[in-house]
Structure 1
Amino acid sequence: MKEQLEARMNELKAELESGRQMIQELDEKRTNLGYTLTRISGAIQVLEELVAGEAESVQA
């Protein structure tokens, strides 16, 4: 009986570690995605300003 309990405990410890690693990987991916979205947003803003500037120079 003790061997079964120890075996199950070891299985659960392995699952716990695996879950912790998955959370860490997901956190890193979320952070990287946030940076990517910020860069994309900035690029869109720059392009919108360039388009607006072109429209103003055409009207002038």
Structure 2
Amino acid sequence: MDRTMLEARLDLLRREHAAGEERLKALDTQIAEQKRTQLRFAGAIQVLEELLREQG
């Protein structure tokens, strides 16, 4: 491969790597949001289960 081809390949790989990093950041944000949602669900479930137990 000549220098031009190597530089072009390097540029492409750097751009793909940067795009991958951005996607990972977005996924981390989605995971954090989903964990918060799951905690809210778990809390609501616990409250409702306790209310049902109290009503016998």
What TM-score does the superposition give when structure 1 sets the normalisation length? 0.87
1:28 alignment counterpart: 29
1:39 alignment counterpart: 40
CA distance in 1, matches of 2:51, 2:15: 54
2:20 alignment counterpart: 19
Give the paired residue count: 55
* Superposition deviation, residue 54 in structure 1: 1.0
Runs (4+) off by over 2 Å: none
Segments of structure 1 that go 5 or more residues without pairing to the other structure are 56-60
What TM-score does the superposition give when structure 2 sets the normalisation length? 0.92
Segments of structure 2 that go 5 or more residues without pairing to the other structure are none
Q: Which has the larger radius of gyration?
A: 1
2:49 alignment counterpart: 48
2:5 alignment counterpart: 4
CA distance in 1, matches of 2:42, 2:9: 49
* Superposition deviation, residue 30 in structure 1: 0.7
Percent identity (aligned): 36
